[in-house]
Amino acid sequence: MSGVVVQNIPRADADVIAGLAKAGVATVHEAQGRTGLMSAKMRPIQDGVAIAGSAVTISAPPGDNWMLHVAIEQLRPGDILVLAPTSPCDNGYFGDLLATSAMARGCAGLVIDAGVRDVRDLRAMGFPVWSTSVSAQGTVKETLGSVNIPIVCAGAAVAAGDVILADDDGVCVVRRDEAIGVLAAAEKRLAAEEQKRQRLAAGELGLDIYAMRARLAEKGLRYE
Amino acid sequence: MSGVVVQNIPRADADVIAGLAKAGVATVHEAQGRTGLMSAKMRPIQDGVAIAGSAVTISAPPGDNWMLHVAIEQLRPGDILVLAPTSPCDNGYFGDLLATSAMARGCAGLVIDAGVRDVRDLRAMGFPVWSTSVSAQGTVKETLGSVNIPIVCAGAAVAAGDVILADDDGVCVVRRDEAIGVLAAAEKRLAAEEQKRQRLAAGELGLDIYAMRARLAEKGLRYE
Amino acid sequence: MSGVVVQNIPRADADVIAGLAKAGVATVHEAQGRTGLMSAKMRPIQDGVAIAGSAVTISAPPGDNWMLHVAIEQLRPGDILVLAPTSPCDNGYFGDLLATSAMARGCAGLVIDAGVRDVRDLRAMGFPVWSTSVSAQGTVKETLGSVNIPIVCAGAAVAAGDVILADDDGVCVVRRDEAIGVLAAAEKRLAAEEQKRQRLAAGELGLDIYAMRARLAEKGLRYE
Amino acid sequence: MSGVVVQNIPRADADVIAGLAKAGVATVHEAQGRTGLMSAKMRPIQDGVAIAGSAVTISAPPGDNWMLHVAIEQLRPGDILVLAPTSPCDNGYFGDLLATSAMARGCAGLVIDAGVRDVRDLRAMGFPVWSTSVSAQGTVKETLGSVNIPIVCAGAAVAAGDVILADDDGVCVVRRDEAIGVLAAAEKRLAAEEQKRQRLAAGELGLDIYAMRARLAEKGLRYE
Amino acid sequence: MSGVVVQNIPRADADVIAGLAKAGVATVHEAQGRTGLMSAKMRPIQDGVAIAGSAVTISAPPGDNWMLHVAIEQLRPGDILVLAPTSPCDNGYFGDLLATSAMARGCAGLVIDAGVRDVRDLRAMGFPVWSTSVSAQGTVKETLGSVNIPIVCAGAAVAAGDVILADDDGVCVVRRDEAIGVLAAAEKRLAAEEQKRQRLAAGELGLDIYAMRARLAEKGLRYE
Amino acid sequence: MSGVVVQNIPRADADVIAGLAKAGVATVHEAQGRTGLMSAKMRPIQDGVAIAGSAVTISAPPGDNWMLHVAIEQLRPGDILVLAPTSPCDNGYFGDLLATSAMARGCAGLVIDAGVRDVRDLRAMGFPVWSTSVSAQGTVKETLGSVNIPIVCAGAAVAAGDVILADDDGVCVVRRDEAIGVLAAAEKRLAAEEQKRQRLAAGELGLDIYAMRARLAEKGLRYE
């Protein structure tokens, strides 16, 4: 069941992707009912960078990065590579040469449930990466995996063409067919948050703004 | 036994807290007999920041941040929020809205054996955080916990009003009733260290400064 | 079998060490057949620093840093301290005073499968460290270990005088008697990489540069 | 997007399930192209038990086992409960009372990416469990999750009605619509294995049975 | 602050301890408001054994088991040794010789946030142990710790004389001054559970026994 | 540097191996100065089994078990297979077919810093295994490793022909050229332990048998 490359995957609308990018991981995760987050072990190798794009998915054997070369050919500008090994592996599947190639195809970044290397170069090149490891450990090119099949990456199900959001808080997946609805919900949340932020900054308490006192008392909270 | 908010907790003297802050985590930890450190999994989300303050403690259920709203009302300027979930949880209990609220009450920072989110905003706001995770995972507000009861946070026992120190090395707890004595011991250590630093910088060996050679020989150290 | 200090260890040639430093961890690891890497849990406390030098090895009991004082006397300018505890331990074996002493002896850095403390000071002093933990936890000086005996540090075997490379990607060990050959292989790789980088940057695919298409087809890769 | 209970899910044929059970986790995993395994952290609480059945899936908040009561109503004889928390949690979601209820409905076992308790009773009752933790930590009943929606459990995607296999080696998921084909492939493997087992037991080498020597030589294996 | 042995500690009444033992870890944990559990990493080295007794606490340096000898002198029949290292350590602090000594003093078992060794002998001797590791790694006798001071063991605060319960589900701590009240609450739970068990075994659903349907509907649960 | 099979390795004397087996892991580890233990993550898949034998070492790529077939040809009766992957991997490298083959060659057991599968069969066959994982995850046969070269397995350096001891406490490596001396030291320990065991069983305290009281007082131990 491996050894497949799905071509011509559908993608979400560029405006929708851009809108989700503006909302950020935490807000979008809430807006879609607290679903779609990858594990907290998925960390950025850089600070202060946020990206969004369509997933080109890769299922790769442990210690074998052959499919990354295959996947790069499938990239369209703005896409994000999302790689999950078929079993836990911290090898450095991706370094400055692959980043050079991916950037030349317009790739917006990499999300990988494994390791990357040449991280100093990757930062200098401005190629954004979220990974579960940093490791120089080299890989081989011997065994097929697949490209653009459904995968589970760091605990989250990802289909090719899903929208991937990544920032300092982690990585969130939005299903392609839900992206428009999630964007609307996210924008509503952002508007509501701004007003609350001002009241909280002025010293009002969440207990009052959210009218929590009665419900806390009802649950039995005692002040001593 | 949960569902309690203790008000009007005692706090250490502001001068003592300031003195401990100056000494830093490593020195204070040594000065109190190598006790009171939280686990090394407790990491800052920012570099180069050191804080000290009185603990407002929070015991919260996994995935439920309701008690943070309750705790913020109990803050006095300079206090530090210290949250321990009742079982291991990496959710993002705290983000930019709660930080806005806590800062409006004069809160000096957050120490949490769980996750935080909106970390880019938190860094930009200058709100210091030590956490065991960064995660956008949202929480609910359904189950009571307690505020200002004794807790175990990242392996360290913390009582409300204990002095919390946090810097790049981690987080240390000083019991309120021992704070004055610990400060005195810490200042003595600092003075002694300065002299040693100068001798070591000049190339003298610790083996000689601390007169270790005889004891090493007695234990049987062999040079080959 | 502990309690030994081996003096006058052999070291690789300074030119060879400098050449390996220029190649970096990932390239050298590949050049020596994908061997010699320490575990990915070994992380730098600073960004953007790369060092290379001869290993002065330390085998130390858990929670006991006595042997660091012994080892510092054995340092020659450019050497790197490499410490492995005899069982897993995250204590802060090393801080600003020991760094002051090590720098006064010309030490190029520390690689430690345990914790360090005073990390803010270490960064300010420009003393490079790779460690598996940051912790203020203090240690004692009661039990002998050994200096310059063969150790296993973060999963890699290290003999005294082996060449240690460390950068943002991690830490690699090159056996002293293989250093010249590895350097030659690394330089060859660097030359080859530069040409590939230019072709990839121009948009050529790895699939074509490395002539992978035929072999992928032979293995059964299907495009859908 | 939570708060949904899907009723009347499709299930695989009982004969197919029984056939897969006989083949076991390792063989079935191979037969379906090395896919569908849950993480190795999923461990049985008993030895020597193997089960197979249709998945009734549960997505539950951390520390909240309410949906287990909802799911039990959806069980048909032979089904297996499969629970994934929405974020990592080791709480004891399930104990002897829930097992009593599930057994009364014909449930064949539980697979849970979290904790169970009363394990001595569960073993005595003969109710099989695979979990990632054993913990007495109690849970609440406050927040909705969902039943019979697609989940990711211990790294594997599971849809309601998929066939779950579990034995001492771990847990494997077979997609319902692939179950018949996978069973055929598994039975073919079993037949082939039996013959190889006899030859190996007689002292023949895998090197010869699988004709590996030429390919090893071609790859460059050197005997010294 | 280490180097202290507190003698003549208070203990709970033997009848109360026996009653708590009968209730078991999960029930007692619930009866005291879901508090007092040690981490799930604390595992028994044997199956099917349950103990209860008064805690004789030990704070020990990493890799140093000297204080175990000191603590054994403080044991009274039925007591349980509870050891926490001052920093994470997996060494084998305790083996068959110490078990022989502890059993000769009437010790009921060991709870240790570290390793034990000679586990085959310990099982054969019938000396019950809950530990976070099994390791043959030896320890030294060089540095003082303390006996019968308050400690944090595997995430739970323990004072000397607190009641310790341990069974296949893990370890629970009951504060000595709350033991009578907790026992009463536990016995009430046991009685209530028995009735529920019979109804559940007869096929009644928890949804009905606990009258959950209305509240689920109110929260918005949808059946599809 | 991989792709090498060293044949005709030296082995320790059978009597010495048998003697070490009788002493057990904990005693031998102490007898050789507390060195040579593998990490505590190396666990037996069976209880109550102890083995000793000469190491046939295997260095294998992640997810590739080809070299096991090569290594089995190198086995002599009583040898133990010791496999370390070149980077962390929990795959099931070894199952009942390979065990059948290894047993046919007289293999005494397997020690593997990775996973095994078919564990129910392995237990039934009486083939002893110590591993860091149990997993059905299959492997490929594509990339060379090496046999009988020096490896690091679970933190311990192992050379081909070293004596491997494994029991319920874990795994210990004795260097071949030190085996006779270590055996002598181990037998001395066993004799001394037996006498101590009798005194401890009679109720004498370690404090008195080992004359610890004076040294404890000198270090400052206070009884309160």
Please list every residue in chain B whose beta carbon sits closer than 8 Å to the beta carbon of residue D137.
86-87
Measured between CA atoms, the residue of chain D closest to residue B138 is D87
Nearest to D91 among B62, B90, B135 (CB): B62
DSSP, collapsed to helix, strand or coil, labels residue C199 as: helix
The residue written with tokens 């990915």 in the block is C40
Residues 6 or more apart from B213 whose CB is under 8 A from it? B207
Residues A59/A65, Cβ–Cβ less than 8 Å:
no
CA-to-CA dists, residue C33 to C30, C98, C194, angstroms:
5, 35, 20
D132, D41 Cβ separation under 8 angstroms: yes
- Using an 8 Å CB-CB cutoff, list chain E residues near F193: 97
Chain C CB contacts of A134 below 8 Å: 40, 43, 168-170
Spatial separation of the C-alpha atoms in residues B38 and B155, rounded to whole Å: 6
Taking the C-alpha atoms of residue E124 and residue E144, their distance in angstroms, rounded to an integer, is 31
What is d(CA A111, CA A133) in angstroms, rounded to the nearest whole number?
Answer: 11
Q: Which residue of F has its CA nearest to E68?
A: F206
d(CA F88, nearest CA chain D) in Å: 13
Structure tokens at D69: 């009561």
3-state helix/strand/coil string of F63-130 = CECHHHHHHHHHCCCCCEEEEEECCCCCCEEECHHHHHHHHHCCCCEEEEEEEECCHHHHHHHCCCEE
Q: Is the dihedral of CA E117, E119, E121, E122 positive or negative?
A: positive
What the block records as the tokens of F33 is 């100065």
Predicted confidence at residue B2, as pLDDT, reads 85
Chains F and C touch (3+ CB pairs under 8 A): yes
The predicted model gives B183-206 an average pLDDT of 95
Q: Do B157 and E155 touch (CB under 8 A)?
A: no
Rounded Cα distance, D149 and D55, in Å: 11
Cβ contacts of residue D198 below 8 Å, gap of 6+?
A: none
DSSP element (H, E) containing C5: strand C4-5
Mean pLDDT in each 10-residue stretch from start to end of chain C (224 residues)?
92 97 96 96 98 98 98 98 98 98 98 98 98 98 98 98 98 98 96 93 96 97 96
Chain A residue whose CA is closest to C172: A136
Cross-chain Cβ contact D157/A152 below 8 Å? yes
Residue with tokens 């250093």: C179
What average pLDDT does chain D have? 97
Distance from C-alpha of A99 to C-alpha of F38, rounded to nearest angstrom = 38
**Residue A176 CB neighbours (<10 A):** 20
- CB-CB contact of C92 with C63 (8 Å): no
Q: What is the pLDDT along chain A (224 residues), one digit of tens a residue?
A: 589 999 999 999 999 999 999 999 999 999 999 999 999 999 999 999 999 999 999 999 999 999 999 999 999 999 999 999 999 999 999 999 999 999 999 999 999 999 999 999 999 999 999 999 999 999 999 999 999 999 999 999 999 999 999 999 999 999 999 999 999 999 999 999 999 999 999 999 999 999 999 999 999 999 99
A136 and C168 in contact by Cβ < 8 A? no
- DSSP run (H or E) holding B181: helix B179-201
Using CB atoms, pick whichever of E172, E200, E216 lies closest to residue D104: E200
C-beta atoms of B169 and C119 within 8 A: yes
In the structure encoding, which two tokens stand for residue C106, read together?
A: 């010309």
Of the residues D90, D120, D139, the best mutation for testing chain E's interface (the one with the most E CB atoms within 10 Å of its CB) is D120
- The total number of residues shown for chain D amounts to 224
Render B71-107 in DSSP notation, one character per residue. HHHT--TT-EEEEEESS----EEE-HHHHHHHHHTT-
Average pLDDT over residues D171-181: 98
Query: E150: nearest CA in chain B?
Result: B157
Long-range contacts for F129-132 (Cβ within 8 Å, ≥24 apart)? F129/F44, F129/F45, F129/F46, F129/F94, F130/F38, F130/F42, F130/F43, F130/F44, F130/F45, F130/F166, F130/F170, F130/F171, F131/F42, F131/F43, F131/F45, F132/F39, F132/F41, F132/F42, F132/F43, F132/F90
Distance between D42 CA and the closest CA of chain F, angstroms? 9
Residue with tokens 């610790």: B206
**Contact criterion met (CB < 8 Å) for A32 and D1:** yes
- The residue of chain A nearest to residue C199, with distances taken between CA atoms, is A101
Q: How far is E61 from chain D (nearest CA, A)?
A: 28
pLDDT given at position E1: 58
Note whether E97 contacts F205, CB cutoff 8 Å.
Answer: no
- Going E207 to E208 to E211 to E214, the CA torsion angle's sign is positive
For residue A128, what pLDDT is reported? Answer: 98
pLDDT band at E134 (very low <50, low <70, confident <90, very high): very high
- Spatial CA neighbour of F128 closest among F94, F85, F173, F162: F94
Q: Which residues of F touch C216 (CB under 8 A)?
A: none
Q: Determine contact, residues D35/A86, Cβ cutoff 8 Å.
A: yes
Contacts of F128 (CB under 8 A, 6+ apart): F44, F45, F46, F49, F51, F108, F109, F110, F166
| Tokens 């010309």 -> residue | C106
Tokens of E216: 């689920």
Residue at A5: amino acid letter:
V
Q: What are the tens digits of pLDDT across the range B144-160?
A: 999 999 999 999 999 99
Contact flag for D and C (3+ C-beta pairs < 8 Å): no
- State pTM to two decimals: 0.97
User: Which amino acid type is present at position D71?
Assistant: A
Segment D209-218 mean pLDDT? 97
Contact predicate A186/A165, CB 8 Å? no
Question: Residue F192, SS3?
Answer: helix
Taking contacts as CB-CB distances below 8 angstroms, the residues of chain B near D142 are 140, 142-143
What's the CA gap between C199 and A98, in Å, rounded? 11
Place of tokens 């083939």: F127
H or E, element range at A56: strand A51-60
- Give the residue carrying structure tokens 């101590």: F196
Q: How far is F143 from chain A (nearest CA, A)?
A: 7
Interface present between B and F (3 or more CB pairs within 8 Å): no
Tell me the one-letter amino acid at B104. A
| Cα–Cα distance list, A27 to A179, A182, C129, C143, D28 (Å) | 13, 10, 37, 53, 41
Tell me the chain D residues in contact with residue E219 when contact means C-beta distances shorter than 8 Å.
3, 143-144
CA dist., res. F188 & res. E19, Å (int): 47
Tell me if residue C97 falls in helix, strand or coil.
helix
| Nearest CA among A134, A118, F61 for reference residue C41 | A134
Which chains does B contact via 3+ CB–CB distances below 8 A?
A: A, C, D, E
Rounded CA-CA distance F154/B158 in Å is: 37
Tokens at F30, concatenated = 């102490």
Residue A1 confidence (pLDDT): 58
Whole-angstrom distance between the N-terminal and C-terminal Cα of chain E?
A: 63
At C219 the three-state DSSP class reads helix
Chains in contact with E, where contact means 3 or more Cβ–Cβ distances below 8 Å, are B, C, D, F
Helix or strand (DSSP H, E) at C57: strand C51-60
Q: Which residues contact A70 (CB under 8 A, 6 or more apart)?
A: A5, A147, C207, C212, C216, C221
Tokens of B184: 């005195």
| Chain E nearest C-alpha distance from C67 (Å) | 16
Average pLDDT of B93-120? 98
Contact B118 A210 (CB under 8 A): no
Residue of E nearest to B1 (CA): E33
Angstrom distance (rounded) from CA E26 to CA D96 = 11
Give C199: exposed, middle or buried? Use CB within 10 Å, 0-12, 13-18, 19+: middle
From residue C192, alpha-carbon distances to A94, C30, C143 in Å are: 17, 13, 50
Q: Per this entry, what is the length of chain E?
A: 224
- Please give the ipTM for the structure prediction: 0.95
Mean pLDDT for all residues in chain E: 97
Single out the residue of B60, B24, B41, B54 nearest to residue B187, CA to CA. Answer: B24
Residue numbers in A near D156 (CB within 8 A): 152
The tokens describing C34, both together, are 């994908």
F93, two tokens: 């490298």
Q: Which of F5, F66, F136 sits opposite D25 (nearest CB)?
A: F136
Closest of F136, A64, B150, A18 to residue D28, by C-alpha: F136
- Per-residue pLDDT averaged across E134-151, rounded? 98
Per-10-residue mean pLDDT for chain F, 224 residues long?
92 97 96 96 98 98 98 98 98 98 98 98 98 98 98 98 98 98 96 93 96 97 96
β-partners of residue F111 are F82, F130
Q: Do C117 and B210 touch (CB under 8 A)?
A: no
User: Given an 8 Å threshold on Cβ–Cβ distance, is C134 in contact with B25?
Assistant: no
Q: Which residues of F touch E6 (CB under 8 A)?
A: 224
Say yes or no for a CB contact (<8 Å) between E5 and F223: yes
Measured between CB atoms, which of E170, E221, E222 is closest to D134? E170
What is the predicted pLDDT for the residue at F2? 85
- Coil, strand or helix at D84: strand
Q: Rounded CA gap, D24 and F96, in Å?
A: 13
Cβ <8 Å between A140 and F143: yes
Predicted confidence at residue C2, as pLDDT, reads 85
Angle value at C-alpha A80, between A76 and A81, nearest 5 degrees: 100
- pLDDT confidence of residue F52: 98
The HSE-up count of residue E209 (CA atoms within 13 Å, CB side) is 20
Of A26, A196, A205, the CB nearest to B136: A26
Question: pLDDT confidence of E137, banded at 50, 70, 90?
Answer: very high
Phi and psi torsions of F44, nearest 5°:
-70, 150
Q: Chain F: nearest CA to C2, how far in angstroms?
A: 7
Of B32, B152, B156, the CB nearest to E156: B152
pLDDT-based confidence at D1, cuts 50/70/90? low
